[in-house]
Homo-oligomer: A and B are copies of this chain.
Amino acid sequence: MNVTELAQRAKNASFRLATLSGSVKNTALQQVASALRAHADEILQANALDLQAAQAALAAGQMKQALYERLKLTPEKLETTVRGMEQLLALPDPVGMVLDETELDEGLILQKISCPIGVLGIIFEARPDVIPQICALAIKSGNAALLKGGKESLHTNSALMETILSALSTVPGYPQGSFALLTSREESAQMLLEDRYIDLIIPRGGNGLLAYVKANTRIPVLGHADGVCHMYISATADVAMACDVAVDAKTQYPAACNALETLLIDDNWPLSKQEKLLHTLIEHGVTLYGDARVGALVPVAGPVEDWHTEYGEKKLSVRFVPNVQAATAHINTYGSHHTDAIISQDEQEVQLFLNTVDSAGVYHNCSTRFADGYRYGFGAEVGISTGKTHARGPVGLTGLTIYKYKLRGNGQKVADYVGPHAKPFTHKKRGGNV
């Protein structure tokens, strides 16, 4: 089957997925989780084949160590993924929720009801554990999905998908063709053109992937490019807290997209505290970049070349700013709308920061590293969105749903509600359960 046929088949399946009960979806999840455990050996053997090729590429300098690590599946990694999948079982069905209910007139009831988006198109780089994660979220939210993985993990991806498809085929009522694996670049390019059948593209990978996807599709795209996260240390900041939280945000896992990249320090924070914070960061192995003023306090590796820089390692841009307004202006100019924090004891300033900074996450007195679907209590995430529509920040099950309006009456026609003798609408809010 070519990509168009796979996409059309997934679309047809999606109409049936939208009608499944929560219990059928949970049965499907459970079957898939059990099958992944039962077939763990085969999956790890397939992974070994990918790793063999990767080792050669590594030795030839054609692959980075980090990519190799992401490619590597272990029994523990697989078990963690399966457990994550099982955690979704306990979450309420995200489909069929009454988000809003209004009586338009007696006997004419409008409900806004959550429903699946339809067909997802996922493009991910060499991280085979994305397949069970995304499939689990898609199953629970009643979506179909085409998944395109990196060629480096082809054997692993195929083994995972085969296991998942065969498990789903045993679930009564679960439509065939809900999921499919794409493997070539050509298929990926073709998927981006299937706007008739695919409703949302989620690229999971670097900056380049997102840009490529956005430039080549008319389908809505959910994702994030950079994670240039900021922390502003107000003149009122507690120094111990600033040290603690900045060190955590920068060093706890520097490669993460929610790690700190730029530190903005208020001019009016006492000099001794400024020095203490910068020294503490250096003691934790952080290399600082900044201008002469920063250099006058602590050793710096050089000036900041580009305030948009996402280091992804223990390096940090430092800048002094005159006030919270300058801090928010800097963040809204150079940031990536991901997660930005203020350390402050002044509530008015905090409010201004939280409302003005145009980011998915705006934090007060805590580390930017909390920006994560699991930490937010979503159970799992498909990724983090820095866009301004549909879903923002860590995207869990809710971000994979949309709504439809159900209007139920007993023969009402619009003609009765217009003109000189128009019946009035009652527009009585009856609330929703969400």
Query: Which A residues contact B (CB, under 8 angstroms)?
Result: 14-16, 18-19, 102, 104, 108, 110, 115, 117-118, 199-200, 214-215, 218, 220, 222, 238, 240-241, 244-245, 247-249, 252-253, 328, 332, 352, 354-356, 358-367, 369-371, 375-377, 387-390, 392-393, 402-415, 417-418, 425, 427
Picked from B102, B244, B358, the residue with its CB within 8 Å of the CB of A413 is B244
Residues of B within 8 A of A215 (CB): 218
**Given A200-B389, A377-B425, 13 further pairs, Cβ under 8 A:** A104-B377, A108-B370, A199-B388, A200-B388, A214-B218, A247-B413, A248-B413, A252-B413, A252-B415, A253-B414, A363-B409, A377-B427, A392-B404
Cβ-defined contact, B248 with A414, below 8 A: yes
Q: How far is the CA of A403 from the CA of B394 in the complex (A)?
A: 12
Cβ-defined contact, B389 with A390, below 8 A: yes
Residues of B within 8 A of A362 (CB): 404-407
Chain copies in the assembled complex: 2
Residues of B within 8 A of A253 (CB): 414
Residues of B within 8 A of A370 (CB): 104, 108, 407, 412, 414
A390-B390 CB under 8 A given contacts A19-B352, A411-B238: yes
Residues of B within 8 A of A16 (CB): 356
A361-B407 CB under 8 A given contacts A377-B102, A412-B366, A413-B366: yes
Residues of B within 8 A of A407 (CB): 361-364, 366, 370
